[in-house]
Chains A and B, each alone.
Chain A
Amino acid sequence: MLTNLQLALKSLTQNRLQASLTLCGMSIGVAMVVVVSGLGLGAQQQIETQIESAGPTLITVRSGNFRPLGIAMAGQQDSSGGELAEGFAGEAGYGDQSFEENAAMLAARQRATKPKVSKVRSPAWPLRPDEMTLLSQNIGDVRATAGSVSGNITLDPAPTNPVRIAKVYGFQPAWPEMKGWQLIEGRLLTEREHAQAASLTVIPVEVAARYWPGESALEKSFALGGDTYEIVGVVRTGEDMTNSLIVPTIFIPLQQAQDLLDQHTFDEINVRSASVGKTTEVATNIRAALRNLRELPDDTMDDFRVETQSLNAMPSLGTDPRLARAVHANIIEFEQASWEEMATSLRQAGRTFTYLLSSAAAVSLLVGGIGVMNIMLVSVTARTREIGLRMALGARMKDVLAQFMVEAITLAALGGLAGLVLGAIGLYIAQNVLHWTTAVSPVMLLIAIVMAAATGVIFGFGPARRAASLDPVVALKAE
């Protein structure tokens, strides 16, 4: 085997020009595969990122009874419906005969004839730590969870305190990302500081401006609960902070807040679903799991609320919150569905793009393979006499076959390696000079190498077998 490899390398160096041209062909083929798959994957990832960043993946869980304005969560309509849906369903009862053929009416009527969910558990249970554990560990496709708790607290009598009462707001590490906080000054708390319940605080920019106008709020502090909370960061929360002008809001690690407020439950839990397409499913699962955990009877309404981001988005675009909820309650999974459809079609487009480019790359690899076959055929023809000689000296068919196969595979493998290098350079240029998004998948690299080797085997076999089946007498006579 080693001898065969040496022989192959030797004969390739002896046909240097032909070999290097074929090598070029092979390496361009492989490089094409590498570059194209890299670009394709990059494009797909970019699409994914864009979908993720634009699409709603945030689910908010709050405690409480929200009967009056209908149920906001998509997927809750079946059991309770919104006020509009209920009203409509009531009318459907009269129009029995005239609307019988209408499928939509039929569905509405079926919904209406379900047992009414009318009972309310009061007071609503708060969100407990075991429910937090359930959300973060037992629901599939959940990427992150973060809970919060808040309440007013009287500060310690210290000269450094600008006010006497503050609203402490305990949060968990993933919270700022989920809420879209912008860091204005300083830093956020590290996971470690959260875990250690460090006496550090982050404040809204409005509070900083109100109490330390014209100077940095960093390194100032609040004294409460016998501790001094140093301000390490100033953030813009994007929420209405008007109330903070009278009672300043300060953000501190969750555990600290829970201890200070002596409240070991959550006011709100935010859940980030793994992808846009999963948001509805995750929300539905959360609701079912919470109902189950809280042992709510079928005729009792949820004493909590699961909201998706799209609901929050509508009021922020100027829609009246009550109208937004009504719309959400009645146009089933409207926003979510359109998002998921868009995501699906975008992904499909990305995949089609990748397949298209990849098939072009495969064609160039095929051309490379034909190059290998060509040089091998030329080689067999040009070296017929050598083959005859080797046979006369005792080479068996399989020896000759092996010699030429090894030669073809060596050629293809060298071409493949050169192609990988070339492809890497190509991707580097695409990434750093052209600023295209690229992604390298080890699987694609493996496929490129395997394809190169397979090319050697497939296109080398014909010529090699031709060489091996030569008649030694005829081969020896060849010029």
Chain B
Amino acid sequence: MSKPVISMHDVKKIYELGDNKVHALRGVSLDIEPGEFVTITGASGSGKSTLMHILGCLDRVSAGTFKLNDKDVSNLSREELANIRNKQIGFVFQGFNLLPRTTATENVEVPLLYSRPLIPAVERKEKALRALEKMGLSDRADHHPSQLSGGQQQRVAIARALVNEPSLILADEPTGNLDTKTGQDVMQTLLDLRESTGITIILITHEPEIAAYGSRIISIRDGLIVSDQANTRPPIPTESPSLAAVP
């Protein structure tokens, strides 16, 4: 059995707001194996965003241990965390977070700008174009985000997440800003990606229908994992019944 991508043990996160202490995570233990498609659900305020920030090395744990690819990242400096984010994690955000007035290719190139050793411009461009091609966006390479549909924008964002060949994709409500049909397309893209590359995907959502795409579904409430089960029956994408039902 290979080493887990994520290995968390009794992770706690406490925010101090003045005199108040907010216990966002109260002891989360979690192992995620390579190639898993994990969806994390929970209501707002449940601690899922905090969990995502820690998983994404954007934030540090208050207590407990967190290993990413068998390396303890609990106590790394900002600089080291930045390097880990750059090399090992691909982020996909709810709001796409593409740079405006910047072409799709240039957007995909951004993580490569921060890679050390430096990657020459020509190679950056090649890599970005290859990632866009994987997302079926070769013909949109020179378009600005404003010239792309929401689905296309999110696929550019996924290309950006993939461009540095990370071991983990972290998607935070990737379908939140999309209509149901486009959301399903994006989910299908992620499924295909996992199928073809075997990449590990962690997706955070509050929608049960989206969570149902995962091979493993984790629910969080009040900073604790309340359920963690394998999902053997990922849904087959269909036309949205809700849309069809509209008169």
**Complex-state Cα separation, A258 to B85, whole angstroms:** 94
Q: B79 on the interface (CB 8 Å rule)?
A: yes
Is there contact, CB below 8 Å, between B58 and A393?
A: no
Is there contact, CB below 8 Å, between B82 and A391?
A: yes
Is there contact, CB below 8 Å, between B85 and A394?
A: yes
Centre residue among B58, B100, B101 by max chain A CB count within 10 A: B58
A-B contact pairs, 7 of them (CB 8 A): A3-B113, A10-B102, A14-B101, A390-B114, A393-B86, A393-B110, A393-B160
Residues of B within 8 A of A392 (CB): 56, 58, 85, 91
* CB-contacts of A375-403 with B (<8 A): 385-386, 389-397, 399
Find the A residue at minimum CB distance from B50: A473
Query: Given A394-B83, A394-B85, A476-B58 in contact, is the A399-B99 Cβ separation under 8 Å?
Result: no
Residues of A within 8 A of B222 (CB): none
Q: B87 on the interface (CB 8 Å rule)?
A: yes
Find the B residue at minimum CB distance from A395: B114
Residues of A within 8 A of B164 (CB): 394
5 nearest CB pairs, A to B: A394-B86, A394-B114, A396-B82, A393-B111, A389-B97
Residues of A within 8 A of B56 (CB): 392
Q: A472 on the interface (CB 8 Å rule)?
A: yes
Distance to closest chain A CB from B219 (angstroms): 23
Query: Given A14-B100, A385-B97 in contact, is the A394-B82 Cβ separation under 8 Å?
Result: yes
Residues of B within 8 A of A10 (CB): 101-102
Query: Given A10-B102, A473-B58, A473-B59 in contact, is the A396-B83 Cβ separation under 8 Å?
Result: yes
Find the B residue at minimum CB distance from A477: B49
Q: B115 on the interface (CB 8 Å rule)?
A: yes
B-side interface residues, number (CB < 8 Å): 26
Residues of A within 8 A of B58 (CB): 391-392, 472-473, 476
Residues of A within 8 A of B160 (CB): 393
Residues of B within 8 A of A473 (CB): 53, 58-59
Find the B residue at minimum CB distance from A7: B113
Contact digits for B58-92, partner A, Cβ 8 Å, 1 yes 0 no: 11000000000000000000110011011100010
Is there contact, CB below 8 Å, between A394 and B99?
A: no
**Complex-state Cα separation, A389 to B114, whole angstroms:** 12
Cross-interface CB contact of A390 among B79, B100, B102, B110, cutoff 8 Å = B110
Residues of A within 8 A of B87 (CB): 394
* CB-contacts of B35-59 with A (<8 A): 53, 56, 58-59
Is there contact, CB below 8 Å, between B99 and A386?
A: yes
**Complex-state Cα separation, A364 to B82, whole angstroms:** 41
What 13 new A-B contacts, CB under 8 Å, besides A385-B97, A473-B58, A473-B59?
Answer: A3-B113, A10-B101, A10-B102, A386-B99, A389-B99, A391-B82, A393-B86, A393-B91, A393-B111, A394-B82, A395-B114, A397-B79, A476-B97
Residues of A within 8 A of B93 (CB): 389, 476
Residues of A within 8 A of B97 (CB): 385, 389, 476
**Complex-state Cα separation, A393 to B99, whole angstroms:** 12
**Complex-state Cα separation, A10 to B101, whole angstroms:** 9
Find the B residue at minimum CB distance from A2: B121
**Complex-state Cα separation, A476 to B49, whole angstroms:** 12
* CB-contacts of A411-466 with B (<8 A): none
Find the A residue at minimum CB distance from B84: A394
Centre residue among A10, A385, A396, A399 by max chain B CB count within 10 A: A396
**Complex-state Cα separation, A476 to B111, whole angstroms:** 16
Is there contact, CB below 8 Å, between A396 and B78?
A: yes
Distance to closest chain A CB from B128 (angstroms): 13
Is there contact, CB below 8 Å, between B102 and A393?
A: no
Residues of A within 8 A of B110 (CB): 389-390, 393
**Complex-state Cα separation, A173 to B159, whole angstroms:** 83
Contact digits for B103-125, partner A, Cβ 8 Å, 1 yes 0 no: 00000001101110000010000
Residues of B within 8 A of A472 (CB): 58-59
Find the B residue at minimum CB distance from A390: B110
Is there contact, CB below 8 Å, between B78 and A397?
A: yes
**Complex-state Cα separation, A3 to B99, whole angstroms:** 16
Is there contact, CB below 8 Å, between B79 and A396?
A: yes
Residues of A within 8 A of B111 (CB): 393-394
Residues of A within 8 A of B102 (CB): 10
